Amino acid sequence: MVGRVLTERESEDRRDKALFEEHDEMEKEMSTTQEVVVRRASSDPLYLECAAAAHPGPAEILINRNEDAGTVGTAVHEVLADWLVDPTDNDDLDVYIQKYNLSPANAKDVKILAAVGRIFWHEWDIGGDAEVIPERPGDPGFETIIDGVKYSGHADILIKTADTIFVLDWKTTRLEYKNYQPQLTRYCWHVANKYPEIENFQYVVIFLRDKTCQIGEPMKRQELTDYHNNFVQVVENWDGKTYNPGGNCHYCPRTLGCPAKIEFMQNMVRIFNELDPGEIIEDCSDAQCVGMYKKIEAVVSEMTEAKEVIKQRAMAMDNQTLSGDEGVDLRISETIRQAFNVTLARPVLLHFLEDEEEVDECCKLSKTLFLDKVSALAPRGQKKKMKELVLANLDEAKAITQTTQYRIGLKKSIKCIESKDIV
């Protein structure tokens, strides 16, 4: 990488100056309005899909989803931002793992995704006179208030050349059906406001998990102004009655009580209850089939989420069971799954099977296959003890990881006065 990364002091000076200017502007705007509505750049794709998402009622309950993918993404963003500022002081990621309380699986994810980001950065070719301005997750980002609406955004990296600014955005999870262009265009709009001397803007999205990047078309300042004006027309000037429910509802904060989504779900269920699905689809064009599939996926997603909520309720019960009225209960069952760490397990397993190829074949397939092969070689009556011996050796070598899965299912209700173990 040949661009010059701004030092921490330079970055702080710039941020302080920008914050002072923005604060002064905000005070002027706040004097003319009592309430400021916030529009985050990351919500632009949702709002352009369904403008109603941006206009909840005064007492409406909103849902803010907090998922593992978001925590992993935040950690990766912070790792890469710190590394850009000081590439020599970012080899030990334990501090980030502890800060975000990451599970072993998520910690491994962070290490892999951060490594992919570093590789991309080394391969990205920019001029030697370019300034590289990274933003950490906690940095203030952009804020612009227009007509009582605060537009905010947080671009991960800016690469500023003499006539062009590149906006780079790390994505740890790629949603194939999501259009990222509005979010990145909004970032470019913010950048254009902050750097009035620059005329050309371009965004780059780096999808770390699948090791690809998406480079947007170069944009002029007027194109970004046109984008914002269209957003105002579609979103801010919403007619108050047009909804567009679908897959986007999952990410909408209004999903709990949105009247259009509820009606959409009821209509979809009613259609397939009253009509033969085969006949419906047979009469559809290819384009209509695509639209129908999207609607079905939205219903399935909502139903899956509802099942998960019921499952969590059952798990919270002392007996992990929800009792029904018709002789059928919902009951949680536990499944213990064990997996090999092949590197640690292989030396242990070679004590029991001398054929290396046979061991490797078993390790690729399953623990059960290996135990079956070993027990088949044991003397009669010793098969169970042999399996226990293998597992004990693997456990001592820390070669087995164990996870518990909880499944919910309908079970016939059996009423009894008392139950006890037979000894």
Give the per-residue pLDDT at 366: 59
pLDDT in tens, 239-268: 999 998 877 887 788 887 788 888 888 887
CA distance 117 to 206: 8
Tokens, residue 45: 């794709």
Give the per-residue pLDDT at 115: 92
- The domain segmentation of the chain, as residue ranges, is 4-34+66-236, 247-312, 321-412
* The CATH number, out of the four listed (3.30.450, 3.90.320, 1.20.58, 3.30.2390), of the domain defined by the range 4-34+66-236: 3.90.320
Instruction: Please compute the mean of the pLDDT values over residues 98-118 and round it to a whole number.
Output: 90
Tokens, residue 67: 């998922």
Nearest to 53 by CA among 209, 257, 197, 222: 257
Arithmetic mean of pLDDT over the chain: 79
DSSP letter for 32, please.
Answer: T
Q: Is the pLDDT of residue 338 over 70?
A: no
**What are the residue ranges of helices labelled H in 176-285?**
181-194, 221-231, 259-274, 277-282
What band does 89 get if pLDDT is binned at 50, 70 and 90?
A: low
What is the chain's alpha carbon radius of gyration, rounded to the nearest angstrom? Answer: 28
